[in-house]
Amino acid sequence: MKSQSINLPLKPKDSTTSKTFSLQIVDGADHARAGVLRRKSLFDVTLTDDVRKDIEALWGEPLDAGAHVARILEEVEQSGDEAVTRLSQRFDNSSYDRIEVTEDEINEAFELVPREQIDAIEFAVNRVRHYHREQLRHAPKTFEARGVGMIVRPLQRIGIYMTGSDAALPSSVIHTAVPGVVAGVDEVIGVTATQADGRVSPLKLVAARLSGMAKVFRASGAQSIGALAFGTDTIPAVDKIYGPGNVFVTLAKQQLFGRVGIDAIYGPTETMVIADETARIDLVAADLLAQAEHDRLATPVLVTTSRHIAEATAEEIEIQLQILERSEVARAAVERGGAVVAADLDEAIVLANEFAPEHLALLVKDPVALVPKIRNAGGVFLGESSPEVLGDYTAGPSHVMPTGGSARYASPLSVLDFLKITSIVSFPDHELRRQGGYASTLARMEGLSAHALSIERRIDGT
């Protein structure tokens, strides 16, 4: 049953910063920048006592997260399959004999997953595929003009980190693999954590097969990223690695950048909702909680022109938390986020552009009018009929989006991330002579006489 919004008068606040239930409310842009909208480093993580003890037991000495990942990658580079299996089974508390998932296991997954769920996965795959096929039509094309041009080709082999261990996330498989398949990548492979019995979630396998993934391997965490980068006897090395993961996966991608292609460095999910006085309180709260339940480190933020909206949303969140299966996780995330009372929608947009959220939802009277003013967001969701949750599953654009403020310069995952461009130069003799003198002069200006002579010998014929 849908929770009903409430409009009870709340106790007046006597300071610029206050906390109503789990949701912190601040007034004005300055207080927002100093608190709710102040970002922390993606790698400023505090490991739990259990994790720190496990790391020390593994290596015989205490290590921070970065050093721990570096040791894992060194082990994988030196010992290949043995290290990948040993470390994956240790961290996943699992047991299995075979790294590659068999065709029989994939076929069995289709028997284990209810038809209704297969239909939902297939629907999402078709929506995401259709969107990216249209996107490919507008992608750069091979051309040559006046002796210069470029060749646009897909990558040959890519690796997908199939995120989700405690919870299977088939949608992430779809939204990461399908754009690569549509782009024309020769081979798309996946790596994934397993269940305790060594089996891969059948939901992931169904999503992998319907998305066009060629092979799936049992390997998790930083060690799986190392396997994709270095290659092992079983897991082939790839040209580029894609997909979000936990802090250890993220650190592994960061440390391997340059050795292998990396799509991006992703942090916890984040959503900003801009709401005016016309917004439905229950929908505002629902959209914030939908992202909050992902992760304790998720960041749900409300920016509103009405303090009443902020306070009523805070109360509504408490009501809706009572019916969520992951209420403890969602509550922790809500406490990390907050609500900002802005002077007007213009100030709200200024704050949104500064924060550059992964997701920006516009629950306002005229959302279309705000779009031209938005410069920095991974995805923009307009009005009550376009919730961000549709973007997570069936809208079409990949839900793998820039986080941590990187929407200032980065884009959602697209077919472009699976293509590469090779420049082509092919001049006739007369064009060499037309350009050569200028090129030779520039080379000698830079003190590069061998460069100049490479041109001059051609022109002079000596």
Strand partners, 340: 26, 303
4: alpha, beta or left? (left if phi > 0; alpha if psi -120 to 50): beta
The low-confidence residues of the chain, meaning pLDDT below 70, are: 1-20, 166, 462
Torsion from C-alpha of 377, 383, 385, 391, nearest 10 degrees: 0
Structure tokens at 420: 């590469």
358, 406 contact by CB (below 8 A): no
Which has the closest alpha carbon to 236: 175, 156, 176, 173? 156
Q: How far is CA 393 from the centre of its chain?
A: 14
Q: What digits encode the pLDDT tens for the residues 91-126?
A: 999 999 999 999 999 999 999 999 999 999 999 999
232, 243 contact by CB (below 8 A): no
Which has the closest alpha carbon to 155: 396, 411, 422? 422
Tell me the CATH number for domain 103-262.
3.40.50.1980
pLDDT at 166: 64
Class of CATH domain 17-40+268-395: alpha beta
Amino acid at residue number 229: A
Question: Directed axis angle between helix 221-230 and helix 247-256, to 10°?
Answer: 20
Q: What digits encode the pLDDT tens for the residues 239-292?
A: 999 999 999 999 999 999 999 999 999 989 999 999 999 999 999 999 999 999
Question: Do 17-40+268-395 and 103-262 agree at the fold level?
Answer: yes
Structure tokens at 211: 């998305």
Q: What is the CA radius of gyration of the chain?
A: 26
Q: How far is CA 315 from the centre of its chain?
A: 31
State how far the Cα of 94 lies from the Cα of 201, in Å rounded to an integer.
13
State how far the Cα of 258 lies from the Cα of 261, in Å rounded to an integer.
6
pLDDT at 17: 43
Domain ranges of the chain: 17-40+268-395, 103-262, 427-460
Structure tokens at 126: 């078709």
Catalytic residues: 358-359
pLDDT at 10: 39
Q: Any idea what DSSP says for residue 148?
A: E
